A = this chain, B = another copy of it.
Amino acid sequence: MSANQEKEQPRRRQARGERRIAQLLEAAATVFTTTGYTAASTNAIAREAGVSPGTLYQFFPNKEAIAIELGDRLMHEMRETYGEALAPVDPATPLEEAVGAAVDRFIAFNCEHPVFFALMHGPDIPGRIAEEHDALHATLLSRIEGLLSSLLPDTAPADLTRTAHMCLGLYKAGLELVLAHEAAERDAYIQELKNALVRYLDPLVGATLGHHKPRP
């Protein structure tokens, strides 16, 4: 067996090539968003990008790699934009504000990159992308769990995990509704999502800290 140099061969790219890659990824995002990953054909992506199938395969070894690269770039942008957003666990900020800020940021990201939702929610997605999705999912869950554990110090870990799962599930449900509407109606759904999350969590932190506001 010879040295395996297929791993990270420093393939020399020209500026033209980088442009093509960006163009192809953009086209792929469009096609994936409208038809989903499996139903999207590589020929359709190439057509959308205005190039031939052969050109597409000049830059991507296979269909999965397109989605992988797209996912990687989205992930990178997400980390860049919101990496520090979920980190601060200020126990002084009211729950409503903390939830509202987090929801606003993530909703904004998903609205700006609708393909993210398509890639992460497809029931048909192959191995590597599913791994990425699971990794992100796990990251988000542990982040949420961390936030919750500082709000609910005396709660069993199993309950904490379950609550985190519920929060993420509730967020996903709200996201779907938000993406399905526009303008004012969309904003109203964002508010409702915040309401649902806050009301779900409020009794927990209320019971723990004993300093929630009574109903007027």
How many copies of this chain?
2
For chain A, which range describes its interface: under 10, 10 to 19, 20 to 34, or 35 or more residues? 35 or more
Given A169-B174, A170-B196; A36-B162 close (CB under 8 Å)? no
Binds B, one of A17-25, A101-109, A199-207: A199-207
Contacts of A121 in B (CB 8 A): 123
Measured between C-beta atoms, what is the minimum distance from A130 to chain B in Å?
A: 13
Q: With the chains together, A189 CA to B159 CA distance in Å?
A: 10
- Interface SS majority for chain A: helix
- The reply to whether A124 and B200 contact each other, CB–CB distance below 8 Å, is no
Contacts of A87 in B (CB 8 A): none
- The reply to whether A124 and B166 contact each other, CB–CB distance below 8 Å, is no
Q: Is A134 positioned at the interface, with any CB of B under 8 Å from its CB?
A: no
* 7 smallest beta-carbon distances between A and B, as pairs: A173-B173, A169-B173, A199-B199, A196-B200, A166-B192, A36-B123, A169-B177
